[in-house]
Amino acid sequence: MASDEMDVGVSLINKIRELEAHLEAQRQIQQTETPARLLWMSCQSLLDRLRHAPPEPIEKDPAYDLLKQYAADQNPLAISIVDSLPAEALKVGVQSEQSLSERFNKVNNVCKRVALVDSHGGGLGKYLLSYMQSMLIFDKHESFEDEIKGKKLVDPTKWTTHDILARVRYSLSNHDLEQAIRYANQLKGQPRVVARDWVKDARSHLATRQAFGALSTHAVAIAVESVMNNSPRDYQSSQD
C-alpha cells in the first residue's frame, strides 16, 4: 500500500515538473534571444498576417528563412514542411482568412444562381430557372455544431446546393476553414465549377497555416527539451 502511494506521489511530482518545464520554456522563449524564440516569433508573426494581411510571397518571409536553415541541418520536421508548402504560396503568397471569407460571399451568390445547372452547363431556360429559384430561397442561418462534432448523423448525398452553402458559411463564420473546405467539396455541377478556384486558394492558405503552426509548436518543444535537459534529476532518481 505504501509502495503504491509512493509511486502515485512520484508520478504526480514528475508531471508537475514537466508542467513547470513547459511553463519555463514558454517564459524563456518570450524573454531570451534564442534560436527557438526567433523561430517561434517569426512563425507567430506570419500566422497573424495569414489571418488579415494581403498576400505576400512566403519565400521572402523571415520564418521561411529560418525554416530553410533548420531543413539544411537535416531537421526532419523542417524538411517535411518545406516539401509540403504549395509552390504558389512561396512565389505569390496566400490569401488571408479574412479575404477568403469575404470572397466566399461572392462565390456563394453565384453558386445559388446556378444551383440547378450541372457541370456540362445547360440552355438559357435552365439558367433562368436556376436564377429565379435563387431569388426565392433565403440563406439558412442555423447551427451545424452537432453535425460537425459527429453527434448528429447526416447524409451528404441528400444535401442541395443551398444546404452545402449554408454549411460553408457557418464554418467560415466560426473561423473553421478546414471544415468549410470539406463542405465546399460536396458541391456538384456548376456550383462546384464556380467554387473551384476558391477551394484551391483556401487549401493553399490552410496548408501554409498548418505548416507554420507545426513549426511554431516545434519551437516550443525545442525550448521545453532544453529546459528539461538542464533541470535537476527527477524525483524518482533522487530516491534511488
pLDDT digits (tens, 9 = 90+) for 116-168: 788 777 777 777 777 777 777 777 777 888 888 888 888 999 999 999 999 99
210 pLDDT tier (thresholds 50, 70, 90): very high
Arithmetic mean of pLDDT over the chain:
82
Q: Can you say whether the dihedral through the CA atoms of 106, 109, 111, 114 is positive or negative?
A: negative
Mean pLDDT confidence for 209-231: 78
- State the Cα–Cα distance between residues 211 and 131, nearest whole angstrom: 40
Phi, psi of 172 (to 5 degrees): -65, -35
Residue 219's closest CA among 25, 46, 57? 25
- State the Cα–Cα distance between residues 152 and 106, nearest whole angstrom: 30
CA distances from 161 to 48, 106, 144, 150, 188 (A): 33, 15, 16, 21, 8
- State the Cα–Cα distance between residues 131 and 110, nearest whole angstrom: 9
Query: Residue 209: what residue type?
Result: R
pTM confidence score = 0.76
6 pLDDT tier (thresholds 50, 70, 90): low
> Is pLDDT above 90 for 173?
yes
Q: What is the pLDDT of residues 18-73, one digit of tens each?
A: 777 666 666 655 555 577 778 888 888 999 999 888 888 998 888 888 888 888 88
